[in-house]
A = this chain, B = another copy of it.
Amino acid sequence: MSQSIPTPHYLIDAAALRRNMEKVARLRELSGAKALLALKCFATWSAFDDMRPFMDGTTSSSLYELRLGRTKFGGETHAYSVAWAEDEIDEAVGYADKIIFNSIGQLERFADRAEGIACGLRLNPQISTSGFDLADPARPFSRLGEWDSEKIAGVLDKISGFMIHYNCENEDFALFDRQLTDIENRFGNLLAQVAWVSLGGGIHFTGEGYPLEALAARLKAFAERFGVQVYLEPGEAAITRTATLELTVLDILHNGKDLAVVDSSIEAHLLDLLIYRLPAKIAPDEGPHRYMICGKSCLAGDIFGEFAFPERLKVGDRISVQDTAGYTMVKKNWFNGVKMPAIAIRDVDGTLRLVRSFGYEDYEASLS
């Protein structure tokens, strides 16, 4: 635990991160694929020293992520954005090793200004593994990438590679294998004409029991068939189960159920739980005492979920919400002025480091 640091705080466990990183490194070694951290998921740069030796660099979804990746992580730096602005493109090219355009329109507008670095195009294979329409890049009328092979063939002279991001926490290697075969069949002609292909993120290869060797072999076969350098862009897979959100119980109520109010808010600190209507994870979630864990914001639905505890909860008890590294710190906000969680890292040797804390001045300066 991290009792010496006041709650709320996100606590990153460098030992857990190391275990994921070793799987990333092994996949790179076996497959020949390069692995770039997807900063949209996790951009807590104080942890980058623990990741850099195991990954090739970063990929981004905006100019600011790109700059963070170049300056704080280093290595190979991919620039992607759904749409670059006129006044961003030169700066973006300055940071990037490769720039990936989302549309043929963007490619044609900006390719001239990206001379000197590799250009790529996002290819949308119109398949996806996401169970959430909100997160499905293959949803109808998707703006995410191009899918018309003929149109794409017309701009092949401007690009040296493709980015194809269509997986979403996909734990099923057989499904990955089948869908990649679909892509090979449908777009093989294009893939054979480029030098590199990024298969994006969303492959949950660091999960317990994932057949890493089979994935590596499949990626290697893909690379050899088309003569391409393969990239992966792990986000969640890189940092899954490496952080907790440490909270304190502030009040206990009995309104038909036993409720515990904690010093946090899902809307402010774990936003995806609210957006996707998902419960938080609390371990071990066992015992005779059941509580609904509630946030302290004004939102009626600010509920972490219902969980079992071995003992009755009381004011002052500590609660650790599990698996809170991905898509959390990058989305935290000042809703209700709820105190923003600090960020701490427990190093591999057990040392606890507080790397950022936020106070009233930060709240005031978030507005004007």
Instruction: Give chain A's interface residues, CB within 8 Å of chain B.
Output: 6, 39-40, 43-46, 60-68, 72, 81-87, 102-103, 105-106, 109, 130, 133-137, 139-144, 248, 250-253, 255-257, 259, 261-263, 267, 271, 274-275, 292, 294-301, 315-316, 329-339, 343, 355-356, 360, 363-364, 366-368
Q: Are A271 and B333 in contact (CB under 8 A)?
A: yes
Q: A139-B301, A333-B271, A338-B62 are in contact. Are A296 and B82 (CB under 8 A)?
A: yes
Q: Are B60 and A337 in contact (CB under 8 A)?
A: yes
Q: A83-B261, A336-B61 are in contact. Are A137 and B68 (CB under 8 A)?
A: no
Q: In the complex, A289 Cα to B341 Cα: how many Å?
A: 45
Count of identical protomers in the assembly:
2
Q: In the complex, A41 Cα to B23 Cα: how many Å?
A: 45
Q: Are B343 and A355 in contact (CB under 8 A)?
A: no
Q: Are A339 and B64 in contact (CB under 8 A)?
A: yes
Which B residues touch A300, using CB under 8 A? 130, 133-137, 139, 142, 144
Q: In the complex, A328 Cα to B111 Cα: how many Å?
A: 35
Residue of chain B at shortest CB distance from A102? B251
Q: Are A135 and B331 in contact (CB under 8 A)?
A: no
Residue of chain B at shortest CB distance from A106? B251
Which B residues touch A62, using CB under 8 A? 296, 336-339
